[in-house]
Structure 1
Amino acid sequence: MKLGVIGVGAIAQIMHVPYLAELPEADIHAIADPGENVVETFGDRYNVPNRYTESAALIEEQAEELDGVVVTTPMHTHAEVAVAALEADLHTFVEKPVAVTPEDAQDVIDAAAETDAVCMVGYMKRFDPGFQKFRAEVDELSEIDLVTSTVIPPDVGAVIEENYDIVYADLDDAFLEESNSKRQQQVEAAIGTDDETLTRAYEYHLESICHDVNALRSAFGSVERIDHVDVFKGWKYVTAQLRYEGDRRCILESGATDRKWYDERIRVDAPEGSASIEFSNAFIKNTPSDVRTKLGTEETTETQHTPSSDEPFKRELRHFLECIEGETEPRTPPEESKRDVELIADLIRTYDENGEANSVSR
């Protein structure tokens, strides 16, 4: 099937474009990126016949030829591009989060409802074999006492530079200024303030923890109450106490560091033991996640599982193609992503300058 790739930045160069080229069902028929140097480099490298510097031109001129598009542009453009693709009746895969504001996320949902085209959001953690094993281990526990989720990535730019030869777009200052202004306006609209610390916190942590917020939702249902939020070390750290369905309590921790290692994990404590997953570095291909169970009150049994090194990015793209073929429904629809955006915005909105948050029912 013929696909267009819109946005050929670092993660698309590392994951989406190479894996689409590997999948026998996929034919990269068109690409678009504002960096002409990127378009030409990857157009030549993957023999892509149709090349654009504007997403709108790709959609308008190729809508009749394409079966779908993969949208991997910056997050503040996700909704605009996804809506345009869906309005052209193109099956649409859009990277997470689906939008910066809940209102823009709703626009994507509305556009998807007006077409028979599939809309799927790129939450690749949901396709991680390790996460699927972790879900199965959690289901075996008698009850849940506490959930703890931690996301503290390293200096991502340094990781990418060390492992890949990325082609960065040659963009003029006016383009970058306009793009950054649009992003800032959306961030401020989402949380209802132009406070520099809080806007920076939302901008960073929205991208950082939306994967894990979505994974937690798939395992434990919706967040019904936010008990406490703290934002500290400037904007770099956010912690929250959440209540999921059935009064299941969760401690959520998100941070930003220049450290070398990737720290992303979920742990579930139960009366008889615990189950945990430590996710691998999302920017290094085919590195498996580790799942551990530790059981026993009188005797202790500890098991470590490394289910597979099959790459979650490739698995989610394969799933998208299966959805296009009508073989299944999207596992990660835009409605879920909108709820993730709403939750993360609520975390920042409910924080006050004293480091406390009002208890908020959702």
Structure 2
Amino acid sequence: MSQLRMGIIGVGGIAQNRHIPTFLKMQEKVTITAISDVNEKTAKMVGEKFGIAQVYAHYADMFEHVDAVTICTPNKFHAEITIAALEAGLHVFCEKPMAMRPDECEAMIAAAEKSGKQLAIAYHYRFMKESVAAKRLVDADEIGRPIVARAKGIRRRKVPGWGVFTNKELQGGGSLIDYGCHLLDLSLWLLGNPKPVEVMGTTYNELSKMPGQVNQWGSFDHETFEVDDHVTAYIKFEGGASLLFETSWSANVKGDEESVSISGISGGVDLFPFHVNQMKHGMLLNTEADWVPGEDDPSIPQAENFVNSCLGNEELIVKPQQAMQVSLIIDAIYRSSESGRSVSL
């Protein structure tokens, strides 16, 4: 196979703004053959917009016309559609998070192993050029054994006021499962994906339930808001490493903040902005990179990695077993907050 026939399932914002335009830039390796959406009117409109002729109301109707699918539906349907596509002999590129529950992740992995097809999860923060550079430094032992990570993804009054982001039944949660999952995945990857053993977490949804909301990303009904808008957690890993974590859609802070920091036994690396901090030759050295190679848009290397993996030319960078770790931690944070106690894994 020299060119992959791609189908897009769910043609909302993430499909139209990221995945479809990205695949269209890679036409020497992939062609978008078909799209589907439960809203047939929207599907037809998107088909006309991007010049995609085959449009379906039900995703299974496209299976015989494609080699792989990209799943951009609400989280509730990730597992169901992924398993159906794998059983039909297709490769699957699924939007994050992997699924709503860890048992769904396990079923997805089992289906992938049985089918022999690729299953990738769209954690695109790993493909940011700063992330790739940091991973290269960590793997080259430039900071020694990583022991502590700090991850923070804070937005000031930016609840997504579109789509189904605040619908708990369809999404499973709010800021943690939508936004914080990216920082969790990136931190785990830089730590070497150690096994999580204990999680203490607290979730809040009071900020967005207050009347008189000022929100920068559209409007929403504060009276029916039911998902988390601010989350904190402390995660311990096998081998002794730990992660301090915080994420929010609605924080009352001066401004947005996004950062990941990894401290090793002999140095550290910070992302966003990128810094390397080392102890060498009797000195404490702080290094800023004048230039970091890579694409400014992480969607491009992410899509290339999936397509090349399907064509047998690369290994997946985001492996499904690693994506399941993120879902395990998310589930544990929610359970810890509900019980008021730490959760052992």
TM-score over 0.5 (shorter chain): yes
What stretches of structure 2 of length at least 5 have no aligned partner? 207-227
Identify the residue that residue 14 of structure 2 maps to in structure 1. Answer: 11
2:28 corresponds to 1:50: no
Whether the 8 Å CA contact 1:266–1:277 is kept in 2: the answer is yes
Identify the residue that residue 183 of structure 1 maps to in structure 2. Answer: 170
2:130 corresponds to 1:130: yes
- Residue 240 of structure 1: SS of its match in structure 2? strand
- Residue 323 of structure 2: SS of its match in structure 1? helix
Q: Deviations over 1:67-93 (max 9, x none)?
A: 111111111111111111111101111
- Residue 252 of structure 1: SS of its match in structure 2? strand
**Aligned partners of 1:114, 1:270: CA distance in 2, in Å?**
38
What displacement does 1:319 show?
A: 0.9
**Aligned partners of 2:183, 2:306: CA distance in 1, in Å?**
20
2:263 corresponds to 1:269: yes
**Aligned partners of 1:314, 1:260: CA distance in 2, in Å?**
32
- Residue 189 of structure 2: SS of its match in structure 1? helix
**Aligned partners of 1:263, 1:116: CA distance in 2, in Å?**
40
Identify the residue that residue 185 of structure 2 maps to in structure 1. Answer: 214
Whether the 8 Å CA contact 2:35–2:47 is kept in 1: the answer is yes
2:109 corresponds to 1:98: no
Query: Cα distance 1:146–1:104, how it changes in 2: closer, same or farther (>3 A)?
Result: closer
Q: Deviations over 1:209-229 (max 9, x none)?
A: 222222222222224333632
2:320 corresponds to 1:327: no
- RMSD over aligned Cα, in angstroms? 2.8
What displacement does 1:233 show?
A: 5.8
- For these two proteins, the number of residue pairs brought into alignment is 311
- Residue 38 of structure 1: SS of its match in structure 2? helix
TM-score (norm 1): 0.77
Whether the 8 Å CA contact 2:198–2:237 is kept in 1: the answer is no
Q: Deviations over 1:50-109 (max 9, x none)?
A: 1012223323xxx2x311111111111111111111111011111111110112222211
Structure that is richer in helix per residue: 1
**Aligned partners of 1:46, 1:83: CA distance in 2, in Å?**
27
Matches within 5 A, 1:30-41: 30-41=34-45
**Aligned partners of 2:53, 2:77: CA distance in 1, in Å?**
24
4+ aligned runs moved over 4 Å, structure 1: 179-182, 258-262, 270-273, 296-300
What stretches of structure 1 of length at least 5 have no aligned partner? 159-167, 170-175, 188-201, 279-289
What displacement does 1:21 show?
A: 0.7
Identify the residue that residue 116 of structure 1 maps to in structure 2. Answer: 116
2:344 corresponds to 1:361: yes
What displacement does 1:325 show?
A: 0.8
Query: Cα distance 1:36–1:227, how it changes in 2: closer, same or farther (>3 A)?
Result: closer
Matches within 5 A, 1:222-237: 222-226=194-198, 228-232=200-204, 234=206, 235-237=228-230
Out of 227-236 and 127-136, give the one that drifted further. Answer: 227-236
Identify the residue that residue 303 of structure 1 maps to in structure 2. Answer: 288
Whether the 8 Å CA contact 1:147–1:266 is kept in 2: the answer is yes
- Residue 112 of structure 1: SS of its match in structure 2? helix
